[in-house]
Chain A
């Protein structure tokens, strides 16, 4: 016998008299666990005291209250049924061919309108308009940048070139402006930043030709060195004649001279 059966037997003993056989089973089980059945007797007696509590009869008011409640509920249920029945009767009265035809026409028109609306929705127009707006914004930004390139402050011009560089693809007008800055800007740093930007665009013929033209116009050794490096890295023999012309200048910086000499060796 497991614990659950012992529990059941104990509660049974506390609740009501057991048969002699079951009482003997409980007694032996309790003895096995070191208890005496008499220890339960006090509990049984206390449990039985509960029966002494007398419950008074419920008043008639409780019963009357319940039946009133039930009547109210039935009344509400009937009212709900009446509303439903009225609705159904109204629908039945309306249920003639003309009414059905009108409802069907209305629904058909609604569906047709919805279908036409979906069909004629200008998705393509939205995309085209968005592209146009994006292009316009890009052009405005470009125009602002070009205007800023002619500012008197060299740091502002450098900032503008960096801004143009980060804007993405450069158009022909931007390339022309950058080449102009490389050739004619009075500030060395501006020319160097312009050269850096143009060096990323050497796949264009206009840029390569512009770089070659700029070489002969440069007086700053720093720009001469940077230009020499870019032209040598391109590996174009066309640059050799320009480099030789520069090399022939008597006022050329020694470092630049050495770099051009090694560059020419590379190109040849």
Chain B
């Protein structure tokens, strides 16, 4: 990233290739929409280009990138004016070797997990995704969200508890 800051913009392509899948997953798990997530990934890299001079190199690039992603996500939800995923998660294709019974069971679990996550508030979805999938520790999540390590832990725990409640309701 420091090379990008010094004017070597081609190096941003390497960073994009390295982080695009994780970043797309972050947005997809929060929004539940693949097309929107793709747009948001591009928005993040556009902001990285514009504000590259603000990267000091003190912390990890990923932490700075997710900080920008958090802002992009917040802007998206502000623009949409909605807390839900907006239409549910996109369908995922069937894998080879699965029997119809197994597939049905998996689909049920998947649908319940998606619904449970979709029913959480956007900030709860985000903190669960950050803590579970993006390989960030509590201190880094605190830097991204602008809060202390203790607050991050409490918010993660509350989000898991909320997820459990929603999940239990869906199980009936």
Q: Which residues of A contact B (CB under 8 A)?
A: 4, 7-8, 10-11, 14-15, 42-43, 46-47, 49-59, 61-63, 65-67, 69-70, 73-74, 77
Contact = CB atoms under 8 A, between A and B. Distances in A.
Interface in B8-26: 9, 12-13, 16, 20-21, 24-25
B29 interface: yes
Given A15-B131, A43-B160, A50 B117 contact: yes
B24 A70 contact: no
A63 B25 CA distance: 15
A20 B132 CA distance: 22
B46 interface: yes
B interface bracket (residues with beta carbon within 8 Å of A): 35 or more
A217 to B, nearest CB: 94
Given A8-B138, A59-B38, A63-B20, A54 B167 contact: no
- Shortest 7 CB-CB contacts between residues of A and residues of B: A62-B38, A7-B153, A54-B92, A46-B164, A58-B24, A49-B113, A55-B25
A27 B138 CA distance: 22
Task: Choose among B20, B117, B164 the residue with the greatest number of A CB atoms under 10 Å from its CB.
Answer: B164
Contacts of A62: 20, 24, 38, 41-42
Contact of A53 (B37, B114, B156, B157): B114
Interface stretch (B57-65, B66-74, B76-84, B104-112): B104-112
Given A7-B153, A50-B113, A69-B46, A58 B41 contact: yes
Given A52-B109, A62-B20, A70-B12, A15 B154 contact: no
Given A15-B132, A58-B38, A67 B13 contact: yes
A61 B24 CA distance: 13
B34 interface: yes
Contact of A49 (B21, B24, B156, B167): B167
Nearest to A74: B9
Contacts of A43: 160-161, 164
A70 B131 CA distance: 30
Contacts of B114: 53
Given A65-B38, A77-B9, A70 B49 contact: yes
Contacts of B109: 49, 52
Contacts of A70: 9, 12-13, 45, 49
B128 interface: yes
Contacts of B90: 56
B128 to A, nearest CB: 7
Contacts of A46: 116, 160, 163-164, 167
Nearest to B40: A62
A61 B112 CA distance: 30
A54 B29 CA distance: 9
B21 A58 contact: yes
Contacts of B21: 57-58
Interface string B90-131: 101000000000000010011011101100000000001001
B86 interface: no
B16 A66 contact: yes
Contacts of B9: 70, 73-74, 77
A4 B117 CA distance: 27
Nearest to B9: A74
B89 interface: yes
Task: Choose among A10, A14, A51, A62 the residue with the greatest number of B CB atoms under 10 Å from its CB.
Answer: A62
A147 to B, nearest CB: 76
Contacts of B92: 54, 56
A43 B157 CA distance: 9
A73 B7 CA distance: 12
19 contacts: A4-B149, A10-B157, A46-B160, A47-B128, A49-B112, A50-B29, A50-B128, A53-B89, A53-B117, A55-B29, A56-B90, A56-B92, A58-B24, A58-B37, A59-B34, A63-B16, A69-B42, A69-B46, A77-B9
